[in-house]
Amino acid sequence: MKMLKILSLSFCLFSFTLTAQIKEKKLDRLIENTLETFDVPGISVGIVKEGKVIYAKGHGVRSLSNNKDMNENTLVGVASNSKGFTCFALAILVDEGKLDWDDKVRKHIPEFKMPEDFVTEEFTVRDLVTHRSGLSLGAGDLMFFPEGGDFTIDDVLANVSKLEPESSFRSEFKYNNNMFIIAGEVIHRASGLTWEEFIEERILQPVEMKNSKAAYSRVTDKSNIIDAHTRTEGEVIQIPHDWSDLANPAGGIMSNVTDMLTWAEFLMNDAVTKNGERILSEEQMHELWQLQTPLPVSKNNSYDTHFSGYSLGWFVSDVKGGYKQVTHTGGLLGTVTQFTLIPELDLGIVVLTNQMIGSAFSTITNTVKDSYLGYKDRNWLEKYGKRNSDWIAKNDSIKNAVYQQVEKFSSSDKVLNANQITGTYKDAWLGKFHITEEGKNLKITSERNPELTAELLPYNTTTYVAKWKNRSFDADVFVLFSLDEHGKAHSATMKYIAPITDFSFDFGDLYLKRAKE
């Protein structure tokens, strides 16, 4: 009996710990310190617990240009947190009998084609949204990233077959946005609505996400919306919004903390709205959070996690003794976001920012999550702050060394003559690039996306550095030329200068071959 009382007492203490709430003032201070530590202009944070919103605030400013306060209703591009909506839309169509998760993609899009014939025939709707295509991380993202290109869904469908596989089909997790773009086209063809129309009419409106839109281009009232910001050459600056409508199914939704908390509550209420309307069957809601593509878990991880993977539009794992965690992050140029659910604790956490640094949202999410899971204060701000400063210093040192070499080599007599590399080059899927001479300078420009324009600077005899005109990209690359027997370049490849480069700048997937003159 004594042992039973001890166990009961322990259980009660453990339960109390799990339901403890981080104090509002402490969270306020944490967010303010996070803004300062990571040089983020604005952050909005929301927490929903047991059906009640217990925190919904903005901190800092929505834009450095106007210094207006960030608040819980400030619109932010949630980026890849849109993927959960795309999969929810597919699940609705499964409920309606208009498609099945294991339908072959070619049943709905006959012209769909992957690099290998076997994969083309076997590729399913489920494969589109589980990152197991065999293509490399971010493969083909330059068709929509950065904004400014002229690519269409027809181009995406034609070009994915020209991308080089990195692994065998269904063998590895390789995050890919273009497969979600194609999933959006499946929704279009199965429903007769555009992806944007379907998301707004069938999800956002009935769920009562009143201020959210399926795309930046569909936001008519921009009176309370962020501007994007990024660190460029040592300084945080405001940059233009950057997202192509082509990629909306992968990351286009605009929302705010208030609406995203409504989304969180709706999902944890088994897809039943506040008005009692069921939008998705229990069976399909359950299916959405089932692990599809496994991910490795380190032996010593921060949340006692044993299993992790990707489900249908979500990362799923176990945390702290077996609680299911459902989460996703999102990133655009100048914006990053995080959405986290622990359904068994009826807990949802939303963090939206207007600066592209994930350490900021991780600091806040982990601290809030820890307070409910019973972990003692682990000072995520200090850990991530040091990690981030070390990461920036490492990348800056790499870039500085490269440009020191450029300055040193520019006066060398081993620099190629301009006529050895000028001309037109063509990549199989991204199209033509033109290398031209302007005065004493060389320039490379993408024909299909003029935003991809860079100065070419000599690094060594056959390698140049492409210094992009838009410095917010933070994605300068080496351009490695291969010469023929006459010393004239016949092809070129690209390679990141520094690992900080966003994976969606998939320059490493390009093979530029000199076009016939």
- Per-residue pLDDT of 458-474, as tens digits, reads 999 999 999 999 999 99
Look up tokens 């705010």; give the residue.
256
For 410-514, the fitting CATH number among 3.30.479.30, 2.40.128.600, 2.40.50.140, 2.60.120.650 is: 2.40.128.600
Q: Give the C-alpha separation, 412 to 420, whole Å.
A: 16
Q: What is the pLDDT of residue 14?
A: 38
Mean pLDDT on 218-234: 95
Residue 9, pLDDT > 70, answer no
Cβ partners under 8 Å of residue 248, min gap 6: 82, 184, 195, 196, 214, 215
Q: What is the pLDDT of residue 3?
A: 37
Are the C-beta atoms of residues 127 and 293 closer than 8 Å to each other? no
Residue 91, pLDDT > 80, answer yes
Q: Give the C-alpha separation, 84 to 268, whole Å.
A: 13
* pLDDT tens column, 104-113: 999 999 999 9
b vs e for 313-345, b when ≥16 Cβ sit within 10 Å of the residue's Cβ? bbbbbbbbeebbbbbbbbbbbbbbbbbbbbbeb
Residue 19, pLDDT > 50, answer no
b vs e for 499-508, b when ≥16 Cβ sit within 10 Å of the residue's Cβ? ebbbbbbbbb
Q: What is the pLDDT of residue 16?
A: 36
- The model's pTM is 0.94
The partner residues of 403 in beta bridges, in order of sequence, read none
Homologous superfamily of the 41-54+72-356 domain (CATH): DD-peptidase/beta-lactamase superfamily (3.40.710.10)
* pLDDT tens column, 316-353: 999 998 999 999 999 999 999 999 999 999 999 999 99
Mean pLDDT on 420-431: 98
Are the C-beta atoms of residues 48 and 368 closer than 8 Å to each other? no
Q: What is the pLDDT of residue 51?
A: 95
Average pLDDT across the chain, whole number: 95
Q: Give the C-alpha separation, 407 to 410, whole Å.
A: 5
> What Rg do the C-alpha atoms of the chain give, in angstroms?
24
pLDDT band at 21 (very low <50, low <70, confident <90, very high): confident
Q: What is the pLDDT of residue 364?
A: 98
Mean pLDDT on 345-373: 97
Find, among 63, 70, 25, 65, the residue nearest to 45 by Cα. Answer: 70
Say which residue, 149 or 2, is predicted with more confidence. 149
* pLDDT tens column, 239-295: 999 999 999 999 999 999 999 999 999 999 999 999 999 999 999 999 999 999 999
What is the H or E stretch that residue 489 is in?
strand 489-496
- Could you state, in order of their start, the residue ranges of all structural domains in the chain? 41-54+72-356, 410-514
pLDDT band at 20 (very low <50, low <70, confident <90, very high): low
